A and B are shown apart, each in its own frame.
Chain A
Amino acid sequence: MSEKFLITRPTHDDRVSYLDFWSKDIIKFAEDKNIKYSDFRGKKANKEEVTKFLQKQNPKLVIFNGHGTDSIIFGHKNQPLIVSNENDILLKEKIVYAIACDCASKLGITAREKGCKAFIGYTQPFGFVKDASKECIPNKDEFAKPFKEFSNEVSLALLKGKTAKEAKESSQKVATKLLKFYSGSDALPEYKEIRFWLFWDKYFQELIGEGSAKFLEV
């Protein structure tokens, strides 16, 4: 097994710090399975280093965590990493999962036109519920936990050798399971919001490109 993946995880504000924390489960899974990866965390999630890595190391899978717009995926301190019709050719031949707002609505499409194999992302902002009393402590935030489970399922499924289509479907199934779980008769008032924003993210999660694309053959 020689395929490697790249993961970017800026840490400069509360929201990306949540995504950074969620990514630890993905990294642990990769380490447990001896899957090679490069972790561009914090300041390292910058355009220069990411560009160099994508060009020279050519990872088959890229997982972007960060803020986004319809045409940009951002890195450290909201520095653009990938811009539609500017450097999206860097995603050629790659499978991409972008946990970044909106970028599947345009960047995913233009990246696909440049040869990106499969792009999984969101066509609207990615939202999640936070416990107002646990700010900046993502590991103690139980209200954010279902969003981690839903989002991480895409990456974990890809690392397990599932196709892009299967990874998206698996994440969608996790969302449905969580929607049921948080609908119980003993549901807390907060669960109503968890259900709605999970539904939102599930609805706007999009796969563009080859559903049959795989990171690993297992």
Chain B
Amino acid sequence: MEEKNNKLNKEMKDLVIVRLESMPDTIKIAFGSGKELTKEELIKHVKEEDKFGKLIVDMQVKYLESLKNL
């Protein structure tokens, strides 16, 4: 079961990375007190699975689920 969950998480992570890779270079994300987030930085957080990266994956999943109710 744990292996299945890990695989699922990897699938989610890969899906989010694919989505982030499609982020246009014409925009920046103003976020928090640090400098703006670029596509590369967002992907790095997700790949490294740090606290923020995990939150991005979690929120992307919640966001995709929410689209069903729009």
Question: Does A associate with B in a complex?
Answer: yes
Q: Report which A residues bind B (CB closer than 8 A).
A: 14-15, 18, 67-69, 74, 78, 101, 124-133, 135, 143-144, 176, 179-180, 183, 189-190, 192-193, 195-197, 199-200, 203
Whether A131 and B26, one on each chain, are in contact in the complex, defined by CB atoms closer than 8 angstroms, is yes
Whether A199 and B66, one on each chain, are in contact in the complex, defined by CB atoms closer than 8 angstroms, is yes
Whether A131 and B30, one on each chain, are in contact in the complex, defined by CB atoms closer than 8 angstroms, is no
The interface residues of chain A lying within 8 Å CB-to-CB of B66 are 199
By secondary structure, the B interface counts as mixed
User: Complex formed: what's the CA distance from A197 to B33 in Å?
Assistant: 16
User: Taking the nearest CB of chain B, how far is it from the CB of A18, in angstroms?
Assistant: 7
Could you say which interface size class chain B belongs to? Answer: 20 to 34
Whether A189 and B24, one on each chain, are in contact in the complex, defined by CB atoms closer than 8 angstroms, is yes
Q: Report which B residues bind A (CB closer than 8 A).
A: 19, 22-33, 36-37, 55, 59-60, 62-63, 66-67, 70
From A125, A135, A199, contact of B63 by CB (8 A): A199
User: Taking the nearest CB of chain A, how far is it from the CB of B33, in angstroms?
Assistant: 4
- Give the total number of A-B pairs whose CB atoms are below 8 A apart: 74
Whether B27 and A180, one on each chain, are in contact in the complex, defined by CB atoms closer than 8 angstroms, is no
Whether A130 and B28, one on each chain, are in contact in the complex, defined by CB atoms closer than 8 angstroms, is yes
Assuming the contacts A176-B70, A179-B70, A180-B70, asked whether A125 and B26 have C-beta atoms less than 8 A apart, the reply is: no
Q: A127-B29, A193-B27, A199-B63 are known; give 18 further A-B pairs, CB within 8 A.
A: A14-B30, A14-B36, A15-B36, A67-B32, A68-B33, A125-B32, A129-B27, A129-B29, A130-B29, A130-B30, A133-B26, A189-B24, A190-B26, A192-B19, A193-B23, A193-B29, A196-B59, A203-B62
User: Complex formed: what's the CA distance from A74 to B63 in Å?
Assistant: 30
From A190, A195, A199, contact of B27 by CB (8 A): A190
Whether A199 and B59, one on each chain, are in contact in the complex, defined by CB atoms closer than 8 angstroms, is yes
Whether B33 and A67, one on each chain, are in contact in the complex, defined by CB atoms closer than 8 angstroms, is yes
The interface residues of chain B lying within 8 Å CB-to-CB of A78 are 33
The interface residues of chain A lying within 8 Å CB-to-CB of B55 are 124
**27 cross-chain CB contacts under 8 A:** A15-B30, A15-B36, A101-B33, A126-B31, A127-B29, A127-B30, A130-B27, A130-B28, A130-B29, A131-B26, A132-B27, A133-B26, A143-B27, A144-B30, A176-B70, A183-B67, A183-B70, A190-B26, A192-B19, A193-B24, A193-B29, A196-B63, A199-B59, A199-B63, A200-B59, A200-B63, A203-B62
From B33, B36, B59, B67, contact of A130 by CB (8 A): B36
